[in-house]
Structure formats: structure tokens, C-alpha cells
Amino acid sequence: MKPSIFSPASLVAAAAMTLCVSATMPAYAADVTIRWGDVVGGSHPQVMMIDKVADIVSKKSDGRIEIQSFPGGQLGGSRDMIEAVSSGVQQMVTEGAANFGQWVPWISVVEAPFIWKTPEQMISVLNGEMLDEINAQLAPAGMHAISALYYGTRHLTTSNKEIKTVADMAGFKVRVPQNDVFVAMAKAWGAKPTPINFNELYLALQQGLVDGQENPLPTIKSGKLNEVQKYIILTGHIRTPRMVVVNNDFWMGLSEEDRTIITDAVKEASTWANAEIMKQEDSLISEFKAGGVTVIEPDVESFRKATVDAVPPLFTKVWGEGTYEKLQNME
């Protein structure tokens, strides 16, 4: 007599066969995979934003779209990843607006020193008609900006020197990003600008290759730069915008529905990230002080005057006559 298909022996055999088949079948793969890179560390709000976007997009697309996060410069430095997105090797990147100046020459004005009054002003202006103007010039380079973000207000840090006025910056070797506006700003301070990739900055500070650097407080925290810096100087010299940029051919190859899913997810998650950065900026001063870092409130006006007198005139031809002043008053 044959055993029943519902007998214990048959059920065990069936379960074993199911496990065997499951072990040999390939894992489910999404229809669309997006590699999204960033130079900042994994604990930064804008990296956490990528994870939030990935989660929202996966759910709304029923798993058809997978977003993979590559923080901490895993896919290269700023220029490496921008060029990779331009060529289509990489699908998405979050990067400082001024780093797209090769294709949009005037864009560096949005990251100019002492131009934005508040983070809210910056976010509103850059996500309005200006974003369309930026995209018109990014398109021939194969890129499309989905959104502008608030990266934070930048402050100076030093390894072993108190800075109280801009005069104290004479001969100071300061790490700046690889763009002309930051280099010009450092020179206006009397410092020696030294461009270094962010993912190499901690070691450069630790080894004394530079005397200090400048970044927003949340970036200083996520990059653990406070471990190798003794002073934070609250210069507040730049409110930095960053942009979420995608390869244009890849973007247009998606359905309108999928583009909407991703755009809406970026908008939702970026609103959270912007608020989280502002929240951290409010609390980090006390945290850094408790960790042994000395916080100095310098003569900001000395920095502002030296910068505004020297930097905007150098870029009038690139930015356009009166553009710097116009943006200061936009809402």
C-alpha cells in the first residue's frame, strides 16, 4: 500500500525538496538598480536620506526599483562620481552645487560666501525656477538635478591655532573642496588653500598635512573630524547647497510613473534631511564642547568683509553682473 501524500514521511520529504529548490534558485532581482554615491560618511543625514528614499521607492514600486547606497567615497571622490554619473557608469550622486561648475559655470554663485540669509531661503530659491535653469545646462552633459538640499552652514576648524579674526588666517594651510570659489575665499583670508578629497581629509588632518578645514557641523561629526581638531571657529561663512543628480539617459529611460515615484521620495526624504541637519546644528556645539573641543566665536564681520570685497568681483563675468546681489534678496 502506497503512503498517503499527507503522511508525515511524505510531508518531510516535500519540505526537504522545497528547501533544496529554494537554495538553488537565484535571489529575486529588481527590474531597476540604482547606484547612488556620496562622499560623506554613513551617519550623515544626507546618507540616511538615501536609505529613506530607497525604502519608499521599493515599497511604492513593489520592489521593482532597488536603490543601493555607497557613502564615504566608496565610488570615488566628488569629481570621480560626477563624471561617472555624466557618463552613465553611475546612476545617482549627491554633491555640492559648485562642483558642477564645469557644465554650469555660473552655478558656483549659489555656494558663494555670505550670500544666503537663511537655510529656508536657499532651499526655496534653488528648488524653484533656478533648478530648471540648472537642468537646461546639465542636460547636454548627460545629467539631471532632481532636488537641491541644505548641507549646512560651514565653519572653520583648526588643529592647534586659535582664530579670532581674519588676520589670524595669514599663511594658514586650509583644506577646501576642489572648486574655484572656495580657493578664492581662502586666498581672500590670507590663507593657503589646499584642495583634498573629503574621504582623505581625516588622515590629512591627523598627519598635519593641513592646519585645518571648513565644513558644516554635522559633516564634522559624521566624518569624526572633531577627533583630530582642537578648535571650531564659528565663522558661518557659507550656507552650502547640495544637489541630488541623476544620469539623464537613465532618468528618461524610466517610465513617467517611476520618475514620479523617485522624485516624490526624494522630496519627502530631503525634507526630513534638511530638518535633521538644522536640528543637529542646534545641538552639536554643546556636544563638541563636552568632547573637549574649544569653540570660538570670532569676529565674523572681518571674515565677511575680506571675502565679499574680494570674491564676487573675481566671478562677475561667470556669474553675471549683479547676480550675487540679486540672489541675496530673493525669497
Predicted confidence (pLDDT) per residue in 189-199, tens digit: 999 999 998 98
Average confidence (pLDDT) over 304-322: 96
pLDDT at residue 178, as a whole number? 82
Neighbours of 308 (CB within 10 A): 16
Number of other CB atoms surrounding residue 68 within 10 Å: 14
What 8-state DSSP symbol labels residue 293?
P
Gap between the Cα atoms of 2 and 8, Å rounded: 13
pLDDT at 210 over 70: yes
Query: How confident is the model over 235-281, as pLDDT tens digits?
Result: 999 999 999 999 999 999 999 999 999 999 999 999 999 999 999 99
- Single pTM value for the model: 0.83
Q: Which SS3 state, helix, strand or coil, does residue 46 take? A: helix
The backbone torsions φ and ψ at residue 32, rounded to the nearest 5 degrees and listed phi first, read -130, 130
pLDDT of 19 higher than 60: no
For residue range 25-82, list pLDDT tens digits in order: 334 568 999 999 999 988 999 999 999 999 999 999 999 999 999 999 999 999 999 9
Q: What is the DSSP letter of 328?
A: H
| pLDDT interval class at 15 (50, 70, 90) | very low
User: Residue 188: which of 303, 106, 111 has the closest Cα?
Assistant: 303
Instruction: Please say if the pLDDT value at position 329 is more than 60.
Output: yes
Q: What is the mean pLDDT of the chain?
A: 91
Q: How many CA atoms lie within 13 A of 140 on its CB side?
A: 6
Closest CA to 243 of 115, 118, 151: 151
Output the pLDDT for position 28. Answer: 52
What number is the average pLDDT over the span 292-303? 98
Centroid of chain to Cα 313: 27
